[in-house]
Amino acid sequence: MSEFDLIGRLAPYLDGAGDDAAVVDVAGSPVVLTTDVLVDGVHVDRALSTLSDVGWKAVAVNVSDVAAMGARPGAATVGLCLPQDLGADDVERLYAGMAEAAARWGVRLVGGDTVSADQLVVAVTMLGDPGPAGPVLRSGARPGDRLVLVGALGAAAAALAQHRAGIDLDPRLLAAHRRPEALPDEGLALAGSGAGAMIDVSDGLGADLGHLCAASGVRAVVDADALPVAEGGGEAARDAGTELWALVCGGGEDFALVAALPAGVAPPVGTVIGEVGAPQPGAPTVELVLPDGARQDIGALGYDHLAGRD
Amino acid sequence: MSEFDLIGRLAPYLDGAGDDAAVVDVAGSPVVLTTDVLVDGVHVDRALSTLSDVGWKAVAVNVSDVAAMGARPGAATVGLCLPQDLGADDVERLYAGMAEAAARWGVRLVGGDTVSADQLVVAVTMLGDPGPAGPVLRSGARPGDRLVLVGALGAAAAALAQHRAGIDLDPRLLAAHRRPEALPDEGLALAGSGAGAMIDVSDGLGADLGHLCAASGVRAVVDADALPVAEGGGEAARDAGTELWALVCGGGEDFALVAALPAGVAPPVGTVIGEVGAPQPGAPTVELVLPDGARQDIGALGYDHLAGRD
C-alpha cells in the first residue's frame, strides 16, 4: 500500500480532501484546516533534532500547509503521545519549541490532549484565514501558467545524506533540517497575485508537482538550472555521492512553495522554475530539463509515508 | 507527574486552555476547537472493540467535547498513526466507523494525515459552532446553581469491571463501552437555557465536577440517589465486587453532560443531581451524599491519563 493508494481508498469517507488543507465554512467565511502528524523515528531523528526542534517542526509543517493554501496561520491544537521515558521537563522543551515557532508565525496554541503511548507523536492541527484572495487549491493550474518557486530546495535531504554517509554535517543544512522555515507571507503574496494553484514541497518537488498536476489535469516542465538550491547542498550531494538534481527534486521537507501563476503576472516573490503544459500522451507528467538538454521524469521522486506497507 | 500537574506546567505556552474545547475567533465569530487522542491499549482495548468501534469512539469523544461547550459539531480532521500489522482494509474499517459516527452527529470529515508508527493512534480534531447562546465554559458556575446531568453513568466502567473480573459482559454495557453516545443536542438545549458552566463526564463524574468547580471557584454537592445509572450497572458492580457509587462517580467515558443552571430555570433535558455551593474551608470540593446521609469526597475519583509517570 502506498500513501497515495490509501488516500484513494479513503476518499469516499472524506469530504473535500486532496489539498494541503481542507476548506471549511465557518459562519459564512471559508477557513482552512490542516493536521500533520510527526512520529519519532519516522519524521524526526532525535540524533539530529532536540525536543524543542521537534516542537518547532510540528508547528512549521502545519504553517507550511496553511501557507500553501494562500492563508494566514491562526489557532492550533496539539495532540501529544508521550512515551514513559519522557518526563515533564521534556514535554516543556517540546512545548517551548512549539511556542517559538508559534510566535514566529503568529500562531495561537489554544489547547490539545496529552496521553501516554509507546512512541512520541506530535499531531498539530491548525486553522488558517485565506483572506480576500480566497484559498488557493492544487487544482487551478492551467496550460501556459508559469511555475514560481519560493524558498530553497534540498537542505533537509542533504543534511540527512551527510548524516547517513557519516560526514560532518554542514551547519547550514542541519539548521534547515532541524528548524525548517515556513513561508506564509510568501504564500499570501502569491495568492494575492492570482496564483491558480499552489502546494508546499513536503514530499519532494517531483512528487508534489505530481500532486498539483494530477489535481489540475496538466503537466509540468521544470528547468533544472532555475532551481534554487540550499546553500551547501551542492557540496553535500557531491560528498554523499548523490546527483544534485535527485537530491533537489526528490528530497522532502523543504517547505518551499510552488505556485502556478498566469503568464502575464510578475511573480511578487520567488523564481520562475518552469511552466505548465497540457497533458501529452506518453510524456511524463513532471519533467526536469537538465542543463545538457536531457530530460528526467521526476514525478515519482519523493517521499511516500506508507511505502513498503501491505 | 499527573495530567493535571502537566496541564499547569504547560499553561504558559497555551492560550486559553482549560475547557473541553478552545474558543477561537474566526472572521469575527467564536468557534470551538478540540483535539482528542485515542491510543490503542490505553484508551481502547481491541479485545472489546473492533476497529470500526475505535473509529466511532474517536469521533464521539470529540463530539462530546464540542457538546460540553454548548456547540454544534462541524468539520473534523483525522491524524492516524498506523502500525505495520494494519493494512488498507483495517484502515477502511476504522474510517467506516468514523464515517458512521460523523453521519450520526452531522460531522464532516475533511481530511487529515496518515503515517506509519509502532502503535495505532487516532487523533481527531473538531470544530464546533456555539450558536447564538455562545460557548459555555467551565468557569461560570455560581453558588445556588443546580447541577443538571443528561445521559447515564457507569456503563463503560461497568463493562471494563466485568471484563477484568472475567464475567460475561452485559451486552448493554458493552455496547455503551464500544459505541458511546455523545449529546450535542442536549448540550445546545442546556446552553440555550442559560447554563453558566458545562463539562462532559470523560474522566469520571467526581474528577470532572472537580475541574468545573476549580474553574468556577465553587463546590458541588451531589445526591447519590439522583444519579442516573446505566442499565445493568448495578448488577455489574455487585458481580465485580465494586461499590456502585464508586463505579458511577469514578468511571470515565460516560460522555454524560453536567451543567450548572440558575436555580429558577427548568432544565430542558436531564435530571437535577445536586447543587453548587460557595467554597467552604475544610470541606471537600465535590461531595457525594449517600442515601444513608454519609458523605464521600469524590473529587479525586476518576481517570488521570498520565498517572504514575515521573
Write out the three cell numbers for A229: 538550491
Q: Taking CB atoms and an 8 Å limit, are B125 and A35 in contact across chains?
A: yes
Helices (H), A197-232: 205-216
pLDDT for B306 equals 59
Contacts of A66 in chain B (CB under 8 A): none
For range A105-117, the mean pLDDT: 94
Binary contact (B13, A74; C-beta < 8 A): no
Closest CA to A252 of A36, A31, A9, A14: A36
C-alpha B255/C-alpha B200 separation (Å) is 6
Is the interface score ipTM higher than 0.85?
A: yes
Contact B250, B302 (CB under 8 A): yes
Residues of B in contact with A14 (CB under 8 A): 109-112
What was the pLDDT predicted at B308?
Answer: 52
CA nearest to B128 within chain A? A26
Q: How sure is the predictor about A310, in pLDDT bands with cuts at 50, 70 and 90?
A: very low
What value does the mean pLDDT of chain A take? 92
What digits encode the pLDDT tens for the residues A83-105?
999 999 999 999 999 999 999 99
Name the E strands within chain A: 22-26, 29-39, 72-82, 108-116, 121-129, 146-150, 197-200, 219-223, 257-261, 271-277, 286-289, 295-297
How far is the C-alpha of B16 from the C-alpha of B277, rounded, in Å? 25
Q: Which three cell numbers stand for residue A150?
A: 519560493
Strands B219-223 and B286-289: parallel
3-state class of B276 per DSSP? strand
Collect all residues of chain A within an 8 Å Cβ-Cβ radius of residue B121: 81, 117, 121, 123
If pLDDT is split at 50, 70 and 90, which confidence band does A308 have? low
Which pLDDT score is estimated for B131?
A: 82
Instruction: Give A28's contacts in chain B (Cβ within 8 Å).
Output: 27
- B254-305: pLDDT as tens digits: 899 999 999 999 999 999 999 999 999 999 999 999 999 999 999 987 666 5
**Model pTM score:** 0.93
Residue A304 has pLDDT above 90, yes or no: no
Facing residue for B79 by CB, picked from A1, A92, A123: A123
Question: Are residues B201 and B256 in contact, defined by beta-carbon separation less than 8 angstroms?
Answer: yes
Strand, helix or coil at B259? strand
pLDDT at site A303: 62
Instruction: Give the separation between CA A171 and CA B220, rounded to whole angstroms.
Output: 58
Instruction: Tell me which of A4, A15, A43 to substitute to probe the interface with B (most B C-beta atoms closer than 10 Å).
Output: A15
Please say if the pLDDT value at position A309 is more than 60. no
Of A16, A39, A108, which has the smallest distance from its Cβ to B81's Cβ? A39
For residue A124, which phi and psi values (nearest 5 degrees)?
A: -105, 140
**Among residues A41, A74, A80, A75, which one has the least CA distance to residue A58?**
A80
Q: Round to whole Å and give the CA distance between B131 and A148.
A: 42
Task: pLDDT band for B78, please (50, 70, 90 cuts).
Answer: very high
Q: Cα–chain-centroid distance for residue A26?
A: 26
Per DSSP, the three-state class of A210 is helix
- Helix B184-192 crosses helix B51-68 at what angle (to 10 degrees)? 0
Q: Which residue of B has its CA nearest to A96?
A: B13
CB A201, CB A151: distance < 8 Å: yes
Region A35-60: mean pLDDT is 94
pLDDT tens, A235-286?
Answer: 999 988 888 998 899 888 889 999 999 999 999 999 999 999 999 999 999 9
Mean pLDDT estimate for chain B: 92
Cβ neighbours of B17 in A, within 8 Å: 110-112
A53-57, A133-137, A210-214, range with the lowest pLDDT: A133-137
Report whether A275 contacts A201 (CB < 8 A).
no
CA-CA distance, B77 to B84, in Å (whole number)?
22
